[in-house]
Structure 1
Amino acid sequence: MNPSITICCDFNQFSIFLLVIFLFVWRKGRVSRRGICLVGLCESGKTLIFSQLIYKKAVESFTSMKENIGVLDIANKGTLKLVDIPGHERVRQRFFDSYKNTARGIVFVLDSFSVNKDIRDVAEYLYTILSDPVVSSNKPQVLILCNKQDHPLAKGPQVIQSVLEKEMNVLRNTQTNQLEAVAEGGNRKSFYLGQEGKNFEFADIRSLRVEFAASSAQTEDFENLKKWLQSVA
């Protein structure tokens, strides 16, 4: 047999072997990531959403310093582990770090009525999550859930997206300048969220798919959230 043909056959077999290994590892990682992280500031309605989805009833909500965990059955898709991450600033990052590796999706819940007042805190927390190296690497789907739409003065998802993008743009400039200053010292590389040379837009985060939807925990209006969970599962 021609030696060149033998080498070619061996190379093709090796390539197929590597492809099989890659698909196995990718599928295993995807299957193991069955978690959905509910994140957001305190009083955004996360725990009420969690209790409505898991227990089919409202549970009295209070500022918690620990996570809530439940299992969601998704029709024809299996189960998802829903984790309600505490919104308190002192503990939320620690708990998110514990579950982000297994997150198939992240639901960022915000108060549609008080969003203008809390916009800075909302943007900072959201920026931290979206720029997290593990999140960027695992690429979970992200839903920004504009809760409390039953309030007559609540802002709609499109308005909230516009306001958030403006605030995230300001925050990104600040964060980027700080990271570049550190990078000049040789300690850390800067991370740029979105597309350089233009104002921040969620559509420009190429590593993640970010969507917006409305909900109302008080009136049990979770149609958009349930559709999203079905698509993610």
Structure 2
Amino acid sequence: MERLIVKDLNHHFGFTEILRDINFQLDKGKVLSIVGPSGGGKTTLMRLCAGLLDVEEGSVTNSFSSSAFAFQEGRLLPWKNVIDNVALGLFARGEKKQVAMPKAQEIALKFGLEKSDFHKFPKDLSGGMKQRVSFARALVTQPALLFLDEPFSALDIGLKKELQAILIEMIDKKEISILYITHDLMEAIRLSDEILLLKADPGHIVKKFSYELAQSKRDDSYIYTQSVKILQDTEIINTFELELK
């Protein structure tokens, strides 16, 4: 069975300890979020899991057949137009243009881009359009595992809910597994089967929260109710340095 297993993971930058004793498992078809304040080591942890940084101590075992990434910034290639950016992963795995382009166009339209946008370059796109392209590029290859590093943080509420709805549809069909890094607790509750709380200096996991209700059935009332509950948790209050009265 495909899964991501992180065991006894520690990491340093020079003499600075960034992560200590990280252990968790992400199974196929599940969404695991790691939440915590800014500067707590979340992005470093994701990069270690994705193989973008070398593991120094402990182990990361990834048996998923394929993976893709969506970040806070679009990270598009400025010299390529929209549709070429979307098709980048397809070309990288050797698909011919006549096969790759229809796939890229189909998913671009699904993510709310217009045909008139296909030949625009990143400099001509708004931040929201860049993020649409980023998601389309990440998902066009139908990855088994999707790494998300705060991809909604700079988006307006409407676009955020639109992109989340597309992910929830895929989650509901068990088409994808997701490791999601965020500091937004409501987003984590909306998308996750399990949430790990990462406390800083150094980053270490202090608590786990689990949610059994299917993501497609989590309406705003459910999200608000669960958010109120989690914000009353002592570890959440201490980790995010909240002052609740």
TM-score normalized by the length of structure 2: 0.25
TM-score normalized by the length of structure 1: 0.26
Q: Answer 1 or 2: higher relative contact order, Cα 8 Å, separation at least 6.
A: 2
The structure that is strand-richer by fraction is: 2
The structure that is helix-richer by fraction is: 1
Higher CA-based Rg: 1
